[in-house]
Chain A
């Protein structure tokens, strides 16, 4: 039977059946439960490739594609509020026409040609405001494109707008945006997660094809899980941070969202690689992730034979929703069906990650946010005296979550407290890094939920910051260890009009995003009867 393949008896008893759990292809015949939708659905396709084929075969012009994508974006936008800034259609069409001209001239318009890319608002763009969701930067325009944005544009991608976020990345719901609250496309009464909630919601609702986010403690992975999209946090240093407004510099990473693993990998490939404007960016080679992808039709029966998968025991423990645990257990089963050996691994230092993360993140942020003083840019209050100018500008410009974190960080770095807080947190970080290294020497990838629950209601945790912080338990360790992690939807729990998606987190060795993408692609292609398209998406654009 299906369950007999699980190795630890303890897990057996925990595995609960959920009406929305998927079944893997191999086990379908043994399943008796009802599935929604009941008919098999095709695995996710690469929208980027479809667009490319449409353009190169001249089935559609870039201008047509942009117009139809924009129409869908605008239709959903009043309900979701994913975007903070959208340029004129004319500006976008001008980009599209340039691509069409290149295609007409027989040139390759680039691998991202005609692809609408959403960009989180803390990533600088020269042609649109960049506010990081903060009042203090209202109307601020950067004089340069972030390196990641520059690379997207160089490859033909069209930046369609700036996505909503928790102010300066500080939050897990996007409710801490100074400007608007974004809704979850699966259930508009719920949060999309955060802090990259706008980027996740936009991809989920197909308002854009892919999007850039940033992940300091899970800000790409948790919203990917909440919105049922693929989210990738690359290895620290894989993608240049130049142009990313710093939250916690030693943890920040620009990440990617897509509706398929293939699209997410394509976007990562576009933005990854060394940048001489970021001293912490790595000179490691960037492999061609796409070439690792195997089409579903040519997959062997056990395509992941020999892959050692470690399920982190501490992540399927108390405090994690039963529905999430069962979805993850089912994903583990799916890995076994694909030929992997799945073992539970224990990371005893796992629970230390959350306090260590919050000390380090708030400490660094208290420093990184010092530059927002109202002197050179951003909102400045009128004052008679310098300290009042600083105090007033920052009091009015920052939201309460940001102020709280600045205060905590300032405290943690103060003379006399440094050793007790910052220094100890750094020691914990070293322990965590080593324990991941150890676990990844025994396993090729580690898996866990991306979040302890599916998307919760707007306002539910707004006044309970500790509960919100606790939600980051699954993701912060990965940032502390600087490792890459891929989140992809693996199942559903009950909630909303049609269920709420659950994300599986796969953690790999440093700079081994290629393996995560390869495994994730196979997982996704073989996962049946799970169509991660939210109800808000009613039409399909034919490329």
Chain B
């Protein structure tokens, strides 16, 4: 494809151009530097962990917000789409590959190169638009957003301006119980398609910067929320739900650390009862949900403090940077009037026309979305905590549903997943897709215990075997000869043997020391190698011990 045609390019010397003297007065490119602290996100994230860490911060900060102010929060989220190739050329994109190893004349903006839209982007945009309950624009277009920056090779970004592909939707979120719970609906203003820019790499000594264009031209969806959030937790939960949604839809890996999901938040405050919005401040450099939450709460208290001291003129329209180290926001750049991006329709790309058939096709192919799933789990009688745990991770939800599909009881499955399986995954640092246990076998295991083939204790042993090594429940039971002994005659024989071998204890028991029943039961169980049905065992044992007295 394009890459083979432009192979000659790979040896060009201008790839890693030391664009000397790119010292910039504002710190915009710090955004692209890797965060040293690694917070939240990733599939291994345990909701409990997140909850507890942000909970403590949250409650502390919330106390500081006087009751007579309210915060208005809106979020702009950029989601990097996991298409095989970039938005307008044939280059693949993979995070972390060596600088300028995945570029071509098109994404480098060489003279004469033209963009050609990767149609997958439309599929993804329509998917997300539908999932966010938006109105779709059946005819939309691309526009050029123009500004100069070394990471922007064409001097303009191909984006959508006045006719975004999706508008006026909403996103439903269940706030975790720890934060008071409840169901919230946040408005979605718009979703539009655009391309990402490259990255600047700054020399250690600060003398020069280099441009890495690997990321240039990678497709993004920008999702703009209504200013519907009122505190950090709501904002973080909105962002987390958006991450779940893109993962459920398979349009992005939603990884915040790698910048596949980036949130910029706008925060303003106003006295309760005032309808006019306060001055809006934008916060960037939020690399995790907890930093979204903490940065917002910091910013709210900063603004409230200024306002309550009569210094509201100190709250200016600006972009502030969240500093993870000092846990505060600092000024990045003041906005001197509105930037004029001189948008105009992109003449190199035809209008994007959607047909009803096409949209219906996408609609019918949508998976069950998190909100619907949560409602379904709720109706099964699961607690909200269980519901959130299971539905928050697409893979766990799929595992859960697949186990249910084999006929297992929902509450039992939920318990197994949330306790032993979750603990195992946490200890071994594995995702549910990486464990060897299959939904079929979990269902089989639960059925074997319920049906009395094995005891619950043996069930746990088998579970860990299945988690670590795989195999089937039936095989393991047979191989290890673990079938429960439920034949009264066989159990009676073992009981008799134990009674005969322990005459002294029998005497003591019969002399009134009935606590010794546990001792006898233990001995019989030992003799059965743990396989005796405990109910049957105790019944027979009691009969035997008591009958001869």
Which chain A residues have a beta carbon within 8 Å of chain B's beta carbons?
Answer: 122-124, 126, 130, 132, 137, 140, 142-144, 146, 241-246, 248-250, 276-280, 363-364, 366-367, 369-373, 375-377, 382-386, 389-390, 410, 413-415, 418, 422
Q: Please determine whether A144 and B17 come into contact, CB atoms closer than 8 angstroms.
A: no
A250 cross-chain contacts in B, Cβ below 8 A: 347
Q: Please determine whether A143 and B144 come into contact, CB atoms closer than 8 angstroms.
A: no
Q: Please determine whether A375 and B344 come into contact, CB atoms closer than 8 angstroms.
A: no
Name which residue of chain B comes closest to A123, CB basis: B112
CA distance A414 to B344 in the complex (A): 10
Q: Which 6 pairs between the two chains have the least Cβ-Cβ distance?
A: A370-B155, A249-B347, A250-B347, A413-B342, A245-B111, A243-B112
- Given A367-B155, A367-B156, A370-B156, A279 contacting B115 (CB threshold 8 A): yes
Q: What would 8 more interface pairs be, CB under 8 Å, given A130-B111, A376-B153, A386-B21?
A: A124-B111, A124-B112, A144-B5, A245-B112, A246-B114, A367-B155, A375-B211, A377-B111
Residue from B110, B114, B343 whose CB has the most chain A CB atoms within 10 Å: B114
CA distance A244 to B110 in the complex (A): 11
Name which residue of chain A comes closest to B22, CB basis: A386
A132, A367, A375, A413: the one contacting B111 at CB < 8 Å is A132
B358 at the interface (CB under 8 A from A): no
Residue from B115, B146, B211, B342 whose CB has the most chain A CB atoms within 10 Å: B342
Q: How many A-B residue pairs have CB under 8 A?
A: 130
B37 at the interface (CB under 8 A from A): no
A143, A363, A383: the one contacting B105 at CB < 8 Å is A143
A123, A279, A382, A422: the one contacting B349 at CB < 8 Å is A279
- Taking chain B's interface residues, is the majority helix, strand, or loop, or is none over half, making it mixed? loop
CA distance A143 to B211 in the complex (A): 19
Q: Please determine whether A386 and B113 come into contact, CB atoms closer than 8 angstroms.
A: no
Q: Please determine whether B146 and A367 come into contact, CB atoms closer than 8 angstroms.
A: yes
A410 cross-chain contacts in B, Cβ below 8 A: 342
B117 cross-chain contacts in A, Cβ below 8 A: 279
- Given A375-B211, A383-B21, A143 contacting B112 (CB threshold 8 A): no
B9, B17, B114: the one contacting A278 at CB < 8 Å is B114
- Given A143-B12, A386-B150, A279 contacting B114 (CB threshold 8 A): yes
Give B323-344 as 1s and 0s: 1 = Cβ < 8 Å from A's Cβ atoms.
0000000000000001010111
A277 cross-chain contacts in B, Cβ below 8 A: 2, 114, 116
Q: Please determine whether A140 and B111 come into contact, CB atoms closer than 8 angstroms.
A: yes
A278 cross-chain contacts in B, Cβ below 8 A: 114, 116
- Given A242-B112, A244-B112, A245-B112, A279 contacting B350 (CB threshold 8 A): yes
CA distance A123 to B108 in the complex (A): 18
CA distance A132 to B105 in the complex (A): 17
B23 at the interface (CB under 8 A from A): yes
A372 cross-chain contacts in B, Cβ below 8 A: 111
B19 cross-chain contacts in A, Cβ below 8 A: 375
Q: Please determine whether A389 and B21 come into contact, CB atoms closer than 8 angstroms.
A: yes
Shortest CB distance B523–A (Å): 80
CA distance A246 to B105 in the complex (A): 14
Q: Please determine whether A371 and B112 come into contact, CB atoms closer than 8 angstroms.
A: no
B519 at the interface (CB under 8 A from A): no
> Could you show 24 A-B contacts with beta carbons less than 8 Å apart?
A123-B112, A124-B111, A142-B105, A143-B6, A144-B8, A245-B112, A246-B114, A249-B348, A280-B348, A367-B146, A367-B156, A370-B156, A371-B155, A373-B148, A375-B17, A376-B110, A376-B153, A377-B14, A384-B23, A386-B150, A389-B21, A390-B148, A414-B340, A418-B344
A384 cross-chain contacts in B, Cβ below 8 A: 21, 23
Q: Please determine whether B153 and A386 come into contact, CB atoms closer than 8 angstroms.
A: no
Q: Please determine whether B111 and A137 come into contact, CB atoms closer than 8 angstroms.
A: yes
Shortest CB distance B347–A (Å): 4
Residue from A363, A370, A377 whose CB has the most chain B CB atoms within 10 Å: A370
Shortest CB distance B128–A (Å): 23
A390 cross-chain contacts in B, Cβ below 8 A: 148
CA distance A248 to B110 in the complex (A): 16
A413 cross-chain contacts in B, Cβ below 8 A: 146, 342-344
B548 cross-chain contacts in A, Cβ below 8 A: none
CA distance A25 to B9 in the complex (A): 56
Shortest CB distance B26–A (Å): 11
B105 cross-chain contacts in A, Cβ below 8 A: 142-144
Shortest CB distance B146–A (Å): 6
Residue from B19, B24, B344, B350 whose CB has the most chain A CB atoms within 10 Å: B344
Residue from A122, A243, A384 whose CB has the most chain B CB atoms within 10 Å: A243
Shortest CB distance A273–B (Å): 16
B244 at the interface (CB under 8 A from A): no
CA distance A377 to B112 in the complex (A): 13
Q: Please determine whether A376 and B17 come into contact, CB atoms closer than 8 angstroms.
A: yes
Residue from A143, A246, A422 whose CB has the most chain B CB atoms within 10 Å: A143
Q: Please determine whether A386 and B23 come into contact, CB atoms closer than 8 angstroms.
A: yes
Q: Please determine whether B21 and A146 come into contact, CB atoms closer than 8 angstroms.
A: no
CA distance A389 to B17 in the complex (A): 14
B154 at the interface (CB under 8 A from A): yes
Name which residue of chain B comes closest to A369, CB basis: B155
CA distance A390 to B21 in the complex (A): 11
Name which residue of chain A comes closest to B109, CB basis: A371
Q: Please determine whether A363 and B109 come into contact, CB atoms closer than 8 angstroms.
A: no
Name which residue of chain B comes closest to A150, CB basis: B5
- Given A126-B8, A377-B14, A246 contacting B344 (CB threshold 8 A): no
- Given A279-B350, A363-B344, A144 contacting B6 (CB threshold 8 A): yes
A279, A376, A415: the one contacting B348 at CB < 8 Å is A279
- Given A367-B344, A410-B342, A413-B342, A242 contacting B23 (CB threshold 8 A): no
- Given A279-B117, A280-B350, A376-B17, A422 contacting B338 (CB threshold 8 A): no
Name which residue of chain A comes closest to B150, CB basis: A375
Name which residue of chain A comes closest to B148, CB basis: A390
CA distance A367 to B109 in the complex (A): 12
B338 cross-chain contacts in A, Cβ below 8 A: 415
- Given A144-B5, A250-B347, A376 contacting B342 (CB threshold 8 A): no
- Given A249-B348, A279-B350, A241 contacting B114 (CB threshold 8 A): yes
Shortest CB distance A422–B (Å): 6
CA distance A427 to B500 in the complex (A): 107
CA distance A366 to B340 in the complex (A): 14
CA distance A510 to B6 in the complex (A): 33
Q: Please determine whether B340 and A415 come into contact, CB atoms closer than 8 angstroms.
A: yes
CA distance A414 to B340 in the complex (A): 7
Give B66-94 as 1s and 0s: 1 = Cβ < 8 Å from A's Cβ atoms.
00000000000000000000000000000
CA distance A126 to B12 in the complex (A): 13
B146 cross-chain contacts in A, Cβ below 8 A: 367, 370, 413
Q: Which of B139-161 contact A (CB under 8 A)?
A: 144, 146, 148, 150, 153-156
B6, B111, B340, B348: the one contacting A371 at CB < 8 Å is B111
Name which residue of chain B comes closest to A140, CB basis: B111
B112 cross-chain contacts in A, Cβ below 8 A: 122-124, 130, 142, 144, 146, 242-246
CA distance A250 to B348 in the complex (A): 7
Residue from B9, B24, B113, B117 whose CB has the most chain A CB atoms within 10 Å: B113
Shortest CB distance B102–A (Å): 15
B150 cross-chain contacts in A, Cβ below 8 A: 373, 375, 386
CA distance A366 to B343 in the complex (A): 12
CA distance A140 to B111 in the complex (A): 10
B109 cross-chain contacts in A, Cβ below 8 A: 371, 376
A137 cross-chain contacts in B, Cβ below 8 A: 111
Q: Please determine whether B114 and A376 come into contact, CB atoms closer than 8 angstroms.
A: no
Give B210-254 as 1s and 0s: 1 = Cβ < 8 Å from A's Cβ atoms.
010000000000000000000000000000000000000000000
Name which residue of chain B comes closest to A168, CB basis: B111
CA distance A241 to B114 in the complex (A): 8
CA distance A137 to B111 in the complex (A): 10
Name which residue of chain A comes closest to B209, CB basis: A386
